[in-house]
Structure 1
C-alpha cells in the first residue's frame, strides 16, 4: 500500500474541508495514480485502478506544481487519453512531497464557470494555499509512519518481554501495575486484563511503591513469599527504577521463581563430573567403594561416607548424586566444621527478614531449601553441635523445615549424604553424637580406604596430577627421576589424595630441571616423616602432628594457615583442634 492510502480517511477529511471553503472540487491521487480521496464528481471514486490523467503523471515525475487554465488545449492535455471527454474547465495541481519523495498529487478542479473564475482569479494565492495543504498531508504521512513505527516497536518489545522466562512487571509511582509480561501472568496465575491497574500491594502482600523504590535504589534482591489466587508464590524480585527525561516514573521488577533459581545455582554453580572418570584408582579397595556407590545410587537411602581427611569423600558424594535419580536436581554441600556453631543453623535452615540483628533484608533460604528435590551433603557431620543434631533428626523424620524466625514450616524432599573422619561410635559412647541421628544418616555406610592402604593406585594418581599441572603451569617435564619416584611411592601420605595433589602441584610449579628430582621431592615431603609414630592413641598422634607443624611454621596467622595446609586440614579444623587440645596461647 502507498503512504497516502494508509491515511486515506485523514486525506478525505482535508479535501472536504478545502472544497467547502473554496467552492471547488478537490481530488488526491497517490504515486501510482490511484485516487485516494475526492469531492463532488470525484466523491466515492476511490479505487485501486490507476486513473488516466497525464497531468498528474507529469507532476509526479517533475515534482513541480502545474496550473491548467484551458483543459483539452494545453500541451500537457494533448497526450491524455481522457482529452475527448474531459469536462474539467481549469485545474491547479501540487505535488505532495515526503522527505524529498513525491508520494502523490493534490488538485483543485473547476467544472463550472464560477469555479473556473475562482481558480484563475486568484491562482497564485490558491497555489500557495494548495502547497500548504500538500505539506499538511505530508506531515500526516510522516505522523502515520511514526505511529506505525511506534506500534511495531511496541509489538517487538512485547514479543521480547513475552519470550523472557522471568516475570516482568511495571509499576508507576502510585503503585499501580501498568504492564505485565506473559511469564509473570503465568507465575502469578492472574490474567493481565484483571491485574492491570491494581495496586501492587493487592497482589504482593506488604509491598508498596515506596518500598520497591527503596529496594531499587539499594539495588537489592527481595525474596517474596505469599499466597496469590490460591497458590503460594515463592520468588526472587529484582527491582530497577523506571525513568525518562522528566525523572522517575516508577519501577520495573523482575521475578524469578525460587525453584528455578535453586536449579540454576545447582547446575551452574556446582558442576559435577558424572562420568566417574575423575575418581581414579582400580585397587581392590577402590573397586569395593565404587561398587558400594553404585548400589547406593539405586536407592533413596541416607548414606554416610567414612574416611580420613583428604580421601575424597565429597567427590564420592557428588558421584553418588549424579548416579542417582536426583541427578537433574540440586547438589548442595556444606562443611559443618567450617561454620561457627551460632551461624550453622541459619545456614542450614535459612532465616526470615528481621529474624536477628544483621539479618539480610528479605531473608535468606537455607541449604535444605536450596537442595529441595536433590541432595544435601553434610561434610564433617561429626562436628555438628548437639542441639542442631536434634533439629536435623526432626527434619529427617518429618520432612519439613522451619526458617529461623519463621512461624510456619515448609515441606522439603532432600536426600542426605553425610561424611566424617571421626569415630562416631566412640562419640556416641561419650555423649557427643546422638545415636538416633546416627541410625538415620547411616542407613547405607561407605568407607573410603586411606591412600597408604591402596598404593596400587599411586602410579595412576601421580601421572594424572603430573599431566594436569604441567598444562596449568605451562611446563614441559619429561617425567620423574627413579629415586624421586621411589620416595613418592614409599611415602605413607597421611593427608591422602589431597596431600598428594598438593605435593604434585608444588613439584611441577617449582621444578627447574627436565624431570622431577629427588632433591625437590625430599624437600617437600620430609616434614611428613619428622615424627616417627609408634603405636599410640589417634588423638595423641594428632596432637603431636599439630604441635610439630606449629613448631615449624610458627603460631602467627600465616603460620597456622601453612600448618593447616601441611596437615591437609582446613584452618577452621585446625583452630577447633587447638581449642579441643587447649594448647596454651594457640587457640586465637
Structure 2
C-alpha cells in the first residue's frame, strides 16, 4: 500500500462534489486517510495499491470533470499550519501547556518540557502529577477565570522562580472546557519589564544644564557611575534626583539589568516591609497563595533607587543595613535566605546628619548608603540654565496642550530668571504649564503666576471682606493659592508627609501629590 497527498482545484464548488470524489475513490479501492475542504480546494491523503495510484491524475480528471487542476503535496494545508505553529511555539522563551476539562495534558512545548521534565508519555495524563497542588486547584476550579501565580520550582537541582498565567478555555456556551498554562522564569519577566521601561531611562546628555556647577555635577556622577559603591544623591525637592539615579544606573556595568525605583514616603507603613522583602504564601491574612517577590529581588542584577530615604521607618532601617552587609534577604514568613546582588542608589532632601542626632536615622546605615555623595544644585544656584529649561518645557508642554508655536516675551523670561524657585525645576515646569494654558500667542509677564507672590496678593485683598471682592475673579486659581499656602505651612511645621496628612485631614499620598504639584520642599 502506498500513500499520496493531493490538492484538487475545483472551480465549480457545487453541492455533492466532495461526496462524488469520495465515491469515485471508494470504487477504485483507495482509502482516504485525511481530508480538508477549503474552497476552491479539496485536499486528501490517499492510501491504495500502486496500480490504482499510477496515472491517478489522468483518470480522476476523466471521472470528475469539475476538477481543473491537481497538485501533489508533501503535507496537507492544515498539517503545514500545525507544523509552522509548532515551530513558533517551541521557539518561544515561555513554557506552554494545554490541558483538557479534567486537567489532562493535551499539548506542551519544548520549554514546558524542560521546566517540568515532561515526556511524550505524559500526554493524556493528569497535570496534577507535574505542577504543585495549589496550581492544580486553580486549573481544576470550574469557575472561568484567569490567574497569575508566582512560585518556585526545583529545576536541575536549582531553585528557580517562575510566573504562571492560567487562562480558562471556554466553549461557545461559556462553559469551561480546559485551560492554557503559560510559564515564564522570573528572570525573563524582569528582562521584559526592563525592556518595556527602557525608554524612560535617560543618559547624562539628556539631563538639562550647561552652567558650570551643573557640568561639574554631571561629570562627578558619570565618573562614579562605573564604580560598585552605593551612591547617595542629595538635593532639594524638584532638582531631578531620580533623573541622575537613572543616568547613573544606565552608565554603570548594571545598565542592562533592572532599575527599580521606590519612594520610601509613598509606601504605607503596613505594607512597606512586604514591598521591600516580599512574602511567602500564607505569611499573613490577605497574602497571595503564591507569595510575592519583594523590590530587592526584582532589582537583582541591577539597581534599586530608594527615593526619600529619610522617610524610611526606623524599624526597617536595620533590615536594610543587613541587606547591604550580608547581601541576603528573607521573605516575610520564609525560612531560607535569598542572595541579592543589588546596587543601592538613595536620595533625600532631608538633613540626615541632623536626623542621626535626633535618633530618627541610624548612623551605621547612613555611612553605608552615603559612600559617594552627589549634591544636585538648586535652580537658584544655576539661573543661567533657566532659559534652557524654559525653551525645553515650552516645546514639550506646548505640543501637549496644542500650542506648538507659542513664544515667551523677554519680560516674562526675566521674571522667571529673577525668581528664587523654592520648588526648583518641578515648580518651573508647573508655572510654565499654567502660563501656556492661560496665554494666547505669547507668554507674557501677566501669565507667569508665581505661587508665593500670588498668595501674598490674595492675603492683602482679604477674601473674608465682602467689600474687598471684585469681579470677575479666577476662583479655581484662588482655591489653588489657598491650598498652596496650607501645604507650604504644613511642610515647614512638620517633619514628614504622614504628619502633614494628619494635620491637614487628607491622605499622605495626597500630600505627596500636592507637594509635587506645587514644588514645595518638605
Give the TM bin, normalised by the shorter chain. Answer: 0.7 to 0.9
- Whether 1:468 and 2:396 are equivalent positions in the alignment is yes
Instruction: Name the SS for the 2:204 alignment partner.
Output: coil
Q: Which residue in the other structure is 1:394 paired with?
A: 322
**Following superposition of structure 1 onto structure 2, how do residues 333-412 of structure 1 map, counting pairs within 5 Å?**
333-412=261-340
In 1, Cα distance between the equivalents of 2:420 and 2:490? 13
Map Cα deviations across residues 334-357 of structure 1 (whole Å, 9 max, x no partner): 000112222111111122232222
In 2, Cα distance between the equivalents of 1:568 and 1:288? 35
In 1, Cα distance between the equivalents of 2:442 and 2:25? 93
Q: Which residue in the other structure is 1:287 paired with?
A: 215
Residue in structure 1 matching 2:447, options 513, 520, 525: 520
**Following superposition of structure 1 onto structure 2, how do residues 527-546 of structure 1 map, counting pairs within 5 Å?**
527=454
Q: Which residue in the other structure is 1:578 paired with?
A: 500
Q: Which residue in the other structure is 1:78 paired with?
A: none
Instruction: Name the SS for the 1:277 alignment partner.
Output: helix
> CA 1:225 to 1:352, structure 2 compared with 1: closer, same or farther past 3 Å?
same
In 1, Cα distance between the equivalents of 2:260 and 2:391? 31
**Following superposition of structure 1 onto structure 2, how do residues 300-319 of structure 1 map, counting pairs within 5 Å?**
300-319=228-247
> CA 1:520 to 1:176, structure 2 compared with 1: closer, same or farther past 3 Å?
same
Unaligned runs of 5+ in 2: 9-22, 31-46, 459-477, 509-522
In 1, Cα distance between the equivalents of 2:218 and 2:367? 23
In 2, Cα distance between the equivalents of 1:101 and 1:184? 45
- Whether 1:443 and 2:384 are equivalent positions in the alignment is no
Instruction: Name the SS for the 1:217 alignment partner.
Output: coil
> CA 1:330 to 1:529, structure 2 compared with 1: closer, same or farther past 3 Å?
farther
In 1, Cα distance between the equivalents of 2:115 and 2:256? 22
CA shift at 1:472, angstroms? Answer: 1.9
> CA 1:283 to 1:304, structure 2 compared with 1: closer, same or farther past 3 Å?
same
Structure ID, larger Rg: 1
**Following superposition of structure 1 onto structure 2, how do residues 233-272 of structure 1 map, counting pairs within 5 Å?**
233-244=160-171, 248-269=176-197, 271-272=199-200
RMSD between aligned residues:
3.9
Instruction: Name the SS for the 1:168 alignment partner.
Output: strand
> CA 1:563 to 1:229, structure 2 compared with 1: closer, same or farther past 3 Å?
same
Q: Which residue in the other structure is 1:91 paired with?
A: none
In 1, Cα distance between the equivalents of 2:300 and 2:201? 21
In 2, Cα distance between the equivalents of 1:321 and 1:409? 26
Instruction: Name the SS for the 2:207 alignment partner.
Output: coil
CA shift at 1:421, angstroms? Answer: 0.4
Map Cα deviations across residues 502-545 of structure 1 (whole Å, 9 max, x no partner): 11111112112x321112215656247779xxxxxxxxxxxxxx
In 1, Cα distance between the equivalents of 2:236 and 2:7? 84
CA shift at 1:180, angstroms? Answer: 1.1
- Whether 1:507 and 2:435 are equivalent positions in the alignment is yes
In 2, Cα distance between the equivalents of 1:464 and 1:409? 48
Instruction: Name the SS for the 1:494 alignment partner.
Output: coil
Q: Which residue in the other structure is 1:429 paired with?
A: 357
**1:270–1:331: 8 Å Cα contact kept in structure 2?**
no
Q: Which residue in the other structure is 1:183 paired with?
A: 111
Instruction: Name the SS for the 1:265 alignment partner.
Output: helix
Tell me the TM-score normalised to structure 1 length.
0.68
Tell me the TM-score normalised to structure 2 length.
0.76
CA shift at 1:267, angstroms? Answer: 2.4
Give the number of equivalent residue pairs: 453
Map Cα deviations across residues 31-75 of structure 1 (whole Å, 9 max, x no partner): xxxxx977xxxxx86785x69xxxx97x767x5xxxxxxxxxxxx
In 2, Cα distance between the equivalents of 1:264 and 1:209? 27
Q: Which residue in the other structure is 1:495 paired with?
A: 423
In 1, Cα distance between the equivalents of 2:7 and 2:420? 91
- Whether 1:230 and 2:123 are equivalent positions in the alignment is no
**1:272–1:322: 8 Å Cα contact kept in structure 2?**
no
Q: Which residue in the other structure is 1:33 paired with?
A: none
CA shift at 1:316, angstroms? Answer: 0.5
**2:98–2:181: 8 Å Cα contact kept in structure 1?**
yes
Q: Which residue in the other structure is 1:100 paired with?
A: 66
Which gives a bigger RCO, structure 1 or 2 (Cα 8 Å, sep 6+)?
Answer: 2
In 2, Cα distance between the equivalents of 1:253 and 1:522? 56
In 2, Cα distance between the equivalents of 1:503 and 1:16? 88
